[in-house]
Structure 1
């Protein structure tokens, strides 16, 4: 009877867990920038306003979860949607900020209920532009009826 030799192979999962991350590792995970934040508009909010209402911590927790994966893999059309163009004037109570690039690819992330963060995306980065706690960036019948 022939004997079979069993070579012990290292588990792929175990070797992945044992490998340490390096600052030189290439990662295209979701990143957040506040370079274009606009708190000057009537329906926009400030960080202090969101902090007082408990929304700042919720936003940061939400972003923390998104930063673990690639941006485009997380677009679901529900919690995270890409609009493309800025809404038409009859669909928004916001104005296009002068300092945002004209070809911005607008998007939004729901934080809780009708509270959203509005921004635009470039590659793997979400540039926060508006903190919109009353959902006035893109007016919908459902939101405006409330």
Structure 2
């Protein structure tokens, strides 16, 4: 890997080129309001209810998730458009998942990121951080009534 000699914007020959413009467009307030993705609580396993990263890779869902994450990280955390916030871990009759993992709170702001069709990434939205917990290709986390059937 080639090491860049300076922190100048790409394509610049002078280290000071464009730094003022970058500083003014990336104010601290703008950056703090953007959504950040964390895998610190991710459960990377295949079960009857969730899947591993390896499984999603073989199902060609990993690239779809990465595209959704890129789009999500450009959204404001105040009201991210792609996330459905449930507010708590679903009751037993509303989920095919087992009880809430012991290291996480059932009263946390459990949420889901829709990728396409029934494919979801399940996690917890805390301030501007979306903590990925489960990969749910069959929308089993929070069951909803069938529409138009």
Where do 4+ consecutive residues of structure 1 move more than 3 Å? 21-26
| Residue of structure 2 in register with 1:67 after alignment | 73
Distance in 2 separating the partners of 1:138 and 1:99: 20
Contact 2:72 2:80 in 1 (8 A): yes
Match 1:110 to one of 92, 114, 120: 114
Q: Does 1:84 align with 2:90?
A: no
Distance in 2 separating the partners of 1:91 and 1:102: 14
Distance in 1 separating the partners of 2:107 and 2:145: 27
The gaps in structure 2 that reach 5 residues or longer are: 1-19
Cα drift, residue 59 of structure 1: 0.5
Which structure ranks higher in relative contact order (CA pairs < 8 Å, sequence separation ≥ 6)? 1
Distance in 2 separating the partners of 1:129 and 1:90: 20
Cα drift, residue 69 of structure 1: 2.3
Max Rg structure: 1
**What TM-score does the superposition give when structure 2 sets the normalisation length?**
0.74
Match 2:142 to one of 132, 135, 138: 138
Contact 1:38 1:97 in 2 (8 A): no
Cα drift, residue 42 of structure 1: 2.5
Map 1:1-146 to 2 at 5 A.
19-21=21-23, 25-26=28-29, 27=31, 28-40=33-45, 41-75=47-81, 79-95=82-98, 96-142=100-146
Distance in 1 separating the partners of 2:103 and 2:146: 31
Cα drift, residue 80 of structure 1: 1.9
Q: CA RMSD in A?
A: 2.2
Cα drift, residue 103 of structure 1: 3.0
Distance in 1 separating the partners of 2:37 and 2:23: 21
Distance in 2 separating the partners of 1:59 and 1:42: 20
Contact 2:89 2:107 in 1 (8 A): no
